[in-house]
Chains A and B, each alone.
Chain A
Amino acid sequence: MDAKGNVDWVEVAETPLEADLLEQWATRPECGAIVTFCGTTRRSSSTGHDVTELEYETSVELAEGRMREVIAVARERWPDIVAVAIHHRIGRVLLGQPAVVIVVSSPHRREAFEAAQYCIDTVKKGVPMWKREVWPTGSAWSQEAHDIVSVHDA
């Protein structure tokens, strides 16, 4: 928690994500807005297979470090945001389950929406994370990949 009472919560783990828990955590008496983004695994395949699961892999230390940088930049751009959580699941995730959850609370909705949008866009482009598509008879790295960029450039 900083001097203004702002708090960050980043986590990369194999445990299922619980958006409602993060929303409760982000609830503050001074905040009139909580924006939640849930990125759920979907059937679309970059490799042409009937995908049943996605498997995420990273270095937890490097990924969490980058997520903290993402939040720091969000706080520079939207100074009024209060609580910011970014949680990313790793390991195997069944279709339809959340792989990433982002929650931002702020006194008013505009900055919460904009900061949450920045956070998810930047997590996808700027956090070290690799996705493997899994189908009943095999698996392969997602072909929807791009060079990792700075959190300032995403």
Chain B
Amino acid sequence: MSRILLLGPAREAAGVRDDHIEGATVGEVLRGAVDRYGSTFEEVLKVSKIWVNGEPSSREQAVGPQDEVAVLPPVSGG
């Protein structure tokens, strides 16, 4: 069970900003997120970058209860 943080358009598509989802890897957590939030979220996820604990991550990276998986759609600050 990892914490997932959904930001900007990902937050809007999922309907929540943070949640807890089962999964031994980043990829498994994200598959669980798609199952939970549906196709609109899946579309946003396709164009998003993934960070774990504030650092860019691969889908294969192992995660546990202390880890935070963040979904970052394309950014537009400044």
Number of A-B contacts (CB under 8 A): 74
What 0/1 readout, one digit per residue, does chain B (1-45) give for beta carbons within 8 Å of chain A? 000010111011000000000000000000000000000000000
In the complex, residue of chain B having the shortest beta-carbon distance to the beta carbon of A66: B54
Interface size bracket, B side: 10 to 19
A131 contacts partner chain B, Cβ-Cβ < 8 Å = yes
What 0/1 readout, one digit per residue, does chain B (43-75) give for beta carbons within 8 Å of chain A? 000010101001010000000000000101111
Determine whether the beta carbon of B78 is less than 8 Å from that of A130: no
A129 contacts partner chain B, Cβ-Cβ < 8 Å = yes
Count of chain A residues near B, Cβ 8 A: 30
Q: Find A88's partner among B12, B54, B77 (CB 8 Å cutoff).
A: B77
Q: List 17 A-B contacts (CB under 8 A).
A: A57-B7, A58-B7, A59-B5, A59-B70, A61-B54, A62-B5, A65-B54, A100-B77, A124-B78, A128-B72, A131-B76, A141-B9, A141-B12, A142-B76, A145-B76, A147-B75, A148-B72
| Chain B contacts to A: CB under 8 angstroms | 5, 7-9, 11-12, 47, 49, 51, 54, 56, 70, 72-78
